[in-house]
Amino acid sequence: MKTLVLYYSNTGNNAWLSRKIAETLGADIEPVAPRLNLLPLLILFSLLKFSPGIKNPFHHVEEYDTVILCGPIWMGQLIFPLRTYIKKYKTRMKKMYFATCCGGGDDTKDDKFGYGGVFNQVRQLAGDTCVHCEAFSIGLVLPEEKRKDTDAMMKVRLSEETFKGEFKTKFDEFISKLRR
């Protein structure tokens, strides 16, 4: 099975997660690069559901059996580089998975800023091409008592040291789904 991992990451968590997925599966990997890489604009365009341009990708998506798109959630939205990618390439993708390393957990997934709404946006855009969406809450690498501490959450950076416990279990389950 030929797999391509595509990601956008601002502070590195989704880059780390993407590299780990690619390394585990022996997949190709590439960042999705917006033409305008200014964080406030990226957030604004994501909020407004605009789909401005992204740089032409190096890998040809039609050559892959499975594509995994990975990126953060901002303000309860699907980030625009991934939105643009899905809109532009969905007809050339055979099978797509969406993964996010985000701030919110399962208990808030249906809230305004939860990942549930983003999964709906992905499914609406990609249709049947999207076979599964997975959220890796950054809180999973924090001790139980710090999981509601927004400051602590925003400071977490994924690394080999944090790759254990509930986060690793979730990762292993995701990889099993991909290998099925």
| In the complex, least distance from residue 123 CB atom to ligand FMN, rounded to whole angstroms | 17
Dig out the tokens for 51 from the structure. Answer: 């789909």
- 74 binds ligand FMN per the rule CB under 6 A: yes
Which range in 11-19, 24-32, 52-60, 167-175 contacts ligand FMN by CB under 6 A? 11-19
Stretch that binds ligand FMN, among 24-32, 98-106, 141-149, 160-168 (CB under 6 A): 98-106
Given 104, 126, 140, 174, the residue binding ligand FMN (CB under 6 A): 104
User: Which residues contact residue 115 at a Cβ distance below 8 angstroms, ignoring those fewer than 6 apart?
Assistant: 73, 100, 102, 104, 109, 133, 135
* Other Cβ atoms closer than 10 A to 148: 13
Candidates 9-17, 48-56, 60-68, 160-168; binding stretch for ligand FMN (CB under 6 A): 9-17
Question: Residue with the closest Cβ to ligand FMN?
Answer: 103
Burial class (CB in 10 A: 0-12, 13-18, 19+), 88: middle
- Mention every residue, 6+ apart, whose C-beta is less than 8 A from residue 174: 21, 99, 134, 136
For ligand FMN, the binding residues (CB under 6 A) are: 9-15, 43, 72-76, 101-104, 113, 115, 138, 154
